Structure 1
């Protein structure tokens, strides 16, 4: 296991930081690259669809997990 890494992102003009494990950052970057968009744009999409009871880091992890699970 590796420790989460904190990265800064801009979501709708506001800076925020998110801590994720490197495998999730790599997965998120891969999805963004495949879609031809930046990581901040993808995280903005994830942020707009998450429920109010779900933190942003959790929503990202679930998004990445479900993306690769559904491709398997």
Structure 2
């Protein structure tokens, strides 16, 4: 397991730079998922941002996206 402290990374969402704080394990998983889907991190982050609504922050929405991705992969219900 890597360092559990969140690390900030900048992404561009619809032309605007923003910082997202995620633990390194989530960053790595997010990168892997984007690559599997043939998307850039900015593109995937923008899709998640658009779908999340206002009830959660972007970092939380990305963590949930990663979790759901791996649950689906292993045949677990969401």
Report the TM-score range of the alignment, normalised by the length of the smaller protein.
over 0.9
| Structure with more of its chain in helix, by fraction | 1
Task: Write the distance in 2 (CA, Å) between the matches of 1:59 and 1:16.
Answer: 15
Task: Write the distance in 2 (CA, Å) between the matches of 1:63 and 1:3.
Answer: 19
1:51 is displaced (CA, Å) by 1.7
Unaligned runs of 5+ in 1: none
Unaligned runs of 5+ in 2: none
Based on CA coordinates, which of the two structures has the bigger radius of gyration?
Answer: 2
Task: Give the length in aligned residue pairs.
Answer: 72
With normalisation by structure 2, the TM-score equals: 0.89
Query: Which of structure 1's runs of 4+ aligned residues deviate more than 6 A?
Result: none
Task: Write the distance in 1 (CA, Å) between the matches of 2:58 and 2:16.
Answer: 14
Aligned-residue RMSD, C-alpha: 0.8
